[in-house]
Amino acid sequence: MNAFSGFGPAIAAGRSGHGAVSMAVASGRVQLVTVRQRTLTMARWRVLWIAVGFAFIALMALVRIAYLGASDHGSRATSFADALLPPRGEIVDRNGVPLARAFPAYALWFNPKALGEDGAPLVKSPEDVASRLKAIFPDLDEKKVAAQLASGKQGYIRRRVLPEEANRVQEIGELALEMPTENDRHYPQGSMAAHVLGYVAADGKGRVGMEQVLDDKLSNPATRGTPVPLSIDVRVQGALEDELARGMKLNQAQGAAGIVLDVDTGEVLALASLPEFDPNKIDARGQSLMFNRVTNQVYELGSTFKPLTVAAAIDAGTIRNLGKRYDASPVKVGRFSIKDSHAMGATLNPIETLIHSSNTVSARIADELGPERMRRTMIDLGMNERPYIELPAKGFPLWPGKDWARLTNMTVGFGHGIAVTPLHLASAYAAMVNGGIWRPATLKKLGPGEAPKGRRVFKQSTSSRMRQLLRAISVYGTGRNANAPGYRVGGKTGSAEKPGAGGYKRSAIVSTFAAAFPMDRPRYVVIAMLDEPKGTVASSFQRTAAWNAAPIVGRLVPRIGPLIGVRPDDTRDVDISDIKPLIPEAASE
């Protein structure tokens, strides 16, 4: 710039040396110089403006750098704890094995408007894209997806996509295939304990099981960080479902139900209702199977009530002598007649009554006890209200009402005329063997000392006597198929005809085995129930519980015993030597 400015006057001075040149030429020169100077000035200004512009941009950049460096921006976007908080709380079993967990996952969504409103939604042909998707997801229905892509309607192609699969879908290079992040509720054990857990519907709310009960706790940000432990033990639950399913198949039953209950705390270790649904995939079939047979369906549970009748009679003092013989001939009350399934002898003592499962003697024992005391015992055992458990679906028993007629009392004595859920029966058996305390069943894990106080139904002495009697049934009576060696199982069979239109259906029965083990110090009650079993080769063409439900318990107990702290031991058993002389089968040994 200085070179220019110095050069201009020098030229002007050089030219002015020729004084003789005409004025016109001189004035032209002056004009030229003025133009040149003006141009130069303008050029200087322009350069200056550009420099100012650059300086301004540099300043802005510096300010921005200082701002970025000095301000702690973005830290409030997501806090660390928030990011690690699951979208919905985890449900675990009593040993911490996850039963339900939620995590952010991807879905595969077809958005035909991704490439703009008009024009084809896909770059490649729908068939080509479908075949590429098929290569990633081998179980995909290629034709269906191709039709969906060709139709141009938006919708899910897949609800769950793994991250590596998502990457491979990206490689197809179709913008219309979107992968929105969604919260995925996953049940790692599949259909196991489905009726206990329930599922989460599309609206994000829990349904059916504990998902519904614990919904607030599982979705509240303050509490969902800690997993909720249930009383369920996955291993026991697995074994129970396994054995029930096997029994159900072998006997061609419509359904099966089972429960394993801790007699001292009321905790439910396993609860199964078959056939079950898969909470990971709720479809129409799943919806139809959500009915819980353990807590919602009421059954006349038949002979499994007989030990309760005998216990009530011993407790009330109407049975003081177990050697007392009762008439076993059919009982006539009004126009009704109570009969046994087969002749068991002219007279029976209470022990033989249970071993052979006699209706007539049970009815006579109940009659001797009287309707009021029988009713009181049933109320104390909670048979007149819905079962105590957290699950939302609880069946109301068919309860004979306030004033029991003589016949009502007698039929309840052998488990008819009253319909309860299998869970009612489990809680009642727990009270009968644990020393006489009834406690509500729970699906929440209880810590030491958290067990509810419960209420006394039977005397301690009655409970000890009942342990002997139940053990005698499974050693000498109908429960022999449940007598797993070393586990001291005691229990009672029950096979009741199902009520249908116009009386009881001969063809449809409910067979139940209610058991407790080990009888020398009962820890767990096990109930296994089959709905409408058929006589098959597996059950020697018998339909009664001794042949189908009892073997389920006999196979289940050895599987679960060592896992839940009951070791098989041939050297221990409840002492039944004092009642042995009253049992003909034992006397002949």
Partner 1 sequence: MVTGSRIRQIGWAVVLGCCFAMLLALTFKVNAVKSDVRLTERKIIAAQQERLMLETEFQTRASQHQLSDWNAVEFGYGAPRADQYLESETQLAALGTPRGIDAPSPVRVALNRPEREEDEDNGLLSGWIAASQPVLDAQTGVSARRELAATGLAQRLSNPVSPIAKVAEVTQ
Q: Which of residues 7-66 bind partner 1 (CB under 8 A)?
A: 66
Tell me whether residue 57 or residue 66 sits nearer to partner 1 (CB atom). 66
Is 303 a catalytic site residue? Answer: yes
Distance in angstroms (rounded) separating the CA atoms of residues 185 and 191: 14
**Residue 525: enclosing H or E segment and its boundaries?**
strand 524-531
| Binding mask of the shown chain, residues 275 to 314, with x at each position contacting partner 1 by CB under 8 A | ----------------------------------------
Smallest gap from residue 294 Cβ to partner 1 (A): 19
Instruction: Give the pairing of strands 268-274 and 255-262.
Output: antiparallel
Q: Which of residues 479-498 bind partner 1 (CB under 8 A)?
A: 485-486
255: left (phi over 0), alpha (psi -120 to 50) or beta: beta
| Binding mask of the shown chain, residues 548 to 577, with x at each position contacting partner 1 by CB under 8 A | ----------xx-xx----xxxx-------
- Crossing angle for the helix pair 359-369 and 306-316, nearest 10 degrees? 30
Q: Which of residues 74-93 bind partner 1 (CB under 8 A)?
A: 74-75, 80, 83-84
Single residue of 96, 163, 401, 581 touching partner 1 by CB under 8 A: 163
Tell me whether residue 383 or residue 560 sits nearer to partner 1 (CB atom). 560
Q: How far is CA 60 from the centre of its chain?
A: 60
Smallest gap from residue 509 Cβ to partner 1 (A): 29
Single residue of 176, 192, 355, 393 touching partner 1 by CB under 8 A: 192
Tell me whether residue 446 or residue 538 sits nearer to partner 1 (CB atom). 538
Structure tokens at 140: 């995909």
Backbone angles phi, psi at 51, to 5 degrees: -60, -45
Bridge partners of 255, per DSSP, are 531
Neighbours of 330 (CB within 10 A): 12
Quick one: which of 327, 323, 424, 337 has its CA closest to 380?
Answer: 424
Q: Which of residues 105-134 bind partner 1 (CB under 8 A)?
A: none
Distance in angstroms (rounded) separating the CA atoms of residues 130 and 147: 9
* Contact criterion met (CB below 8 Å) for 306 and 314: no
Quick one: which of 311, 347, 352, 516 has its CA closest to 427?
Answer: 516
Smallest gap from residue 473 Cβ to partner 1 (A): 21
| Binding mask of the shown chain, residues 343 to 382, with x at each position contacting partner 1 by CB under 8 A | ----------------------------------------
* Contact criterion met (CB below 8 Å) for 96 and 229: yes
Tell me which stretch binds partner 1 (CB under 8 A): 189-197, 215-223, 304-312, 430-438.
189-197
Tell me whether residue 124 or residue 246 sits nearer to partner 1 (CB atom). 246
Single residue of 97, 115, 166, 508 touching partner 1 by CB under 8 A: 97
Tell me whether residue 52 or residue 62 sits nearer to partner 1 (CB atom). 62
DSSP letter string, 187-248: -TTTTTTHHHH-EE-TTS-EESSHHHHTHHHHH-TTTTTSPEEBS--HHHHHHHHHHHHHHH
Smallest gap from residue 524 Cβ to partner 1 (A): 15
Catalytic residues: 303
Q: Contact residues for partner 1 (CB under 8 A)?
A: 66, 68-72, 74-75, 80, 83-84, 97-98, 101, 103-104, 162-163, 186, 188-192, 234-235, 237-239, 241-242, 485-486, 558-559, 561-562, 567-570
